[in-house]
A and B are shown apart, each in its own frame.
Chain A
């Protein structure tokens, strides 16, 4: 493990650095000033009650949601800068969604290769090669030609991971990647994520998979009411959180 909880404050430049992030939906302030950094190769878990702003934080990190205030640096580039080429940056920021969001009209391979062809302008042959390799990496070599509707939820989510991975992102954002899955399908997705973690990918995961967090996360961030209320090692957050709301929440999800 190359980085500990404090690595983001150390000499190494963080891959993701969020400062003073505020996001409002109409009159509702969803993020109330978030400061958050992720070091290279770090795996950060974000937990918190629903409505605490976890997903919005993640979605601001590739500007699927436009932040109202604050700064978001990814790999040294300020995303909120009007001159920032957001499409160029987004391919360096992989994202995996709760509802998979595979393209239903395209095969697994074409789901993966679309951005390779249209964004990275690779030839069909080269894109197919990368796509097949990405699908092999998530254990779906035999599903290359399958359409999303023919795949289980776990398989769909792994195709979605392959789709993001194939662009060789600097950081991967996971928005509740397993919460739409039947319990028996969660394991395969977590195994894929563990494999990515071991290959040194930087990851931010919004999820309540406590067991996975305990043995894979470097750091756990607890959010409540649009703020980061507490952060620390999984050990600390899951066994002895200081914040009373964090304590109540952890007790609740541990049941």
Chain B
């Protein structure tokens, strides 16, 4: 057996591919589900926090800053382990899926809040002046004038962050969420062969390459000139 054949045998074994593809596909489905759930709740919460911070109520802003700093500073894995193994001892039992979703949502929310808040801050004061001078209230000026501009400014950092954090769904494997890596690892331990991991890698490409392309498209689509 040549080196190349050995390489193919241990990374791209057709028999194992055939045997494990349903498991990998099942794992991909779980990964997509978590990623979508994290995306929706993380971005929504981040947006809500950025809006809340706009009102500049000191205790509210301080709480948001603490939340954002903590969740940006801690590795998601640490949070996952703490919540998954810690909460049951105080009587809260969350499924592994729920813990993964919760942690990644909070982490994405923290980064999204920072990106959108930075966007809100970089909208020029004249925009507020113009909106308020026509009688729009603070909230109306925020929603109709400032936020649409802030979100456009936030989109490039936000797409990168969103992709990075949704890829962290792989961390679910340490608490037994049946996502794609978890399925692949199980298959590896049964087969003693790296082929399932290669399949998982291809699965990630299939899921995230379109997301990366979509991110680039969104960035282009929303990159307009300032007047």
Contact = CB atoms under 8 A, between A and B. Distances in A.
A105 B134 contact: no
Contacts of A164: 133-134
Given A64-B129, A97-B126, A99-B126, A104 B134 contact: no
B45 interface: no
Nearest to B222: A105
B135 A87 contact: yes
Contacts of A62: 133
B221 interface: no
Contact of A90 (B124, B134, B145, B148): B134
A95 B135 contact: no
Given A104-B224, A105-B149, A91 B132 contact: no
A167 interface: yes
A156 B135 contact: no
Q: How big is the B interface, by class? A: 20 to 34
B127 A103 contact: yes
Contacts of B226: 104, 149
Contacts of B127: 101, 103
Given A101-B126, A105-B149, A149-B226, 9 more contacts: A89-B135, A90-B134, A93-B133, A97-B129, A103-B131, A114-B134, A114-B136, A147-B224, A164-B134
Interface of B: 124, 126-127, 129-137, 140, 144-145, 148-149, 152, 224-227
26 contacts: A59-B129, A64-B129, A87-B137, A90-B133, A91-B134, A93-B133, A97-B129, A100-B227, A101-B124, A101-B127, A101-B129, A101-B130, A103-B131, A104-B224, A104-B227, A105-B149, A114-B144, A118-B144, A119-B135, A148-B227, A149-B224, A149-B226, A156-B227, A163-B134, A164-B133, A164-B134
